[in-house]
């Protein structure tokens, strides 16, 4: 699925570099850029990671889409920065919180159709 992406990609992750690199090797995927909590000395939803990713991509918040599985880290972090987001709700939990994603899907394979509709 990830190999079908034709847009520039930046992974923003709260895990350490080595753990993320191991996961990406297993997926056989290489993003254009990687921003980790280890490299930025900060964790999502703090703005440093989003600022760094936008700088690497040389794009504005309204020109990117955050795709993530955490309401707090991914949805709140991106929303606070003006970045549209897609929440992957793998567990199909009922979201009764005040945190509301722009889009919600339950399987990562549904990301491309959502991006195509935006």
Q: Residue 112 pLDDT more than 70?
A: yes
Distances in whole angstroms, Cα of residue 74 to Cα of each of 3, 26, 102: 22, 23, 12
Q: Residue 30 pLDDT more than 80?
A: yes
Mean of pLDDT values over 51-63: 96
Tell me if 86 sits within 8 A of 106, measured CB to CB: no
Q: Residue 1 pLDDT more than 70?
A: no
User: Percent of the chain, pLDDT > 90?
Assistant: 75
Find all residues with CB under 8 Å of 93, minimum gap 6, and list them.
none
Please give the residue range of the domain that contains residue 100: 2-117
Cα within 13 Å of Cα(86), Cβ side? 19
Residues 4, 2: Cα–Cα separation, whole Å: 5
Q: Residue 4 pLDDT more than 80?
A: no
- pTM of the complete model: 0.88
Looking at residue 12, which CATH number applies to its domain?
3.40.50.1000
Into how many domains does the chain fold?
1
pLDDT at residue 100, as a whole number:
96
Residues 110, 97: Cα–Cα separation, whole Å: 23
Q: Residue 117 pLDDT more than 80?
A: yes
């Amino acid at each position: 699925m990830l190999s079908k992406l034709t847009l520039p990609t930046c992974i923003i992750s709260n895990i350490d570099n080595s753990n993320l690199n191991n996961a990406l090797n297993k997926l056989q995927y290489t993003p254009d850029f990687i921003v980790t909590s280890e490299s930025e000395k900060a964790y999502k939803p703090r703005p440093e990671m989003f600022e760094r990713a936008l700088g690497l991509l040389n794009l504005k918040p309204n020109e990117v889409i955050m795709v993530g599985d955490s309401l707090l880290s991914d949805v709140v972090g991106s929303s606070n920065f003006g970045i549209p987001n897609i929440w992957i709700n793998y567990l199909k939990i009922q979201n009764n919180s005040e945190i509301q994603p722009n889009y919600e899907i339950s399987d990562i394979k549904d990301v491309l159709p959502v991006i195509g509709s935006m």
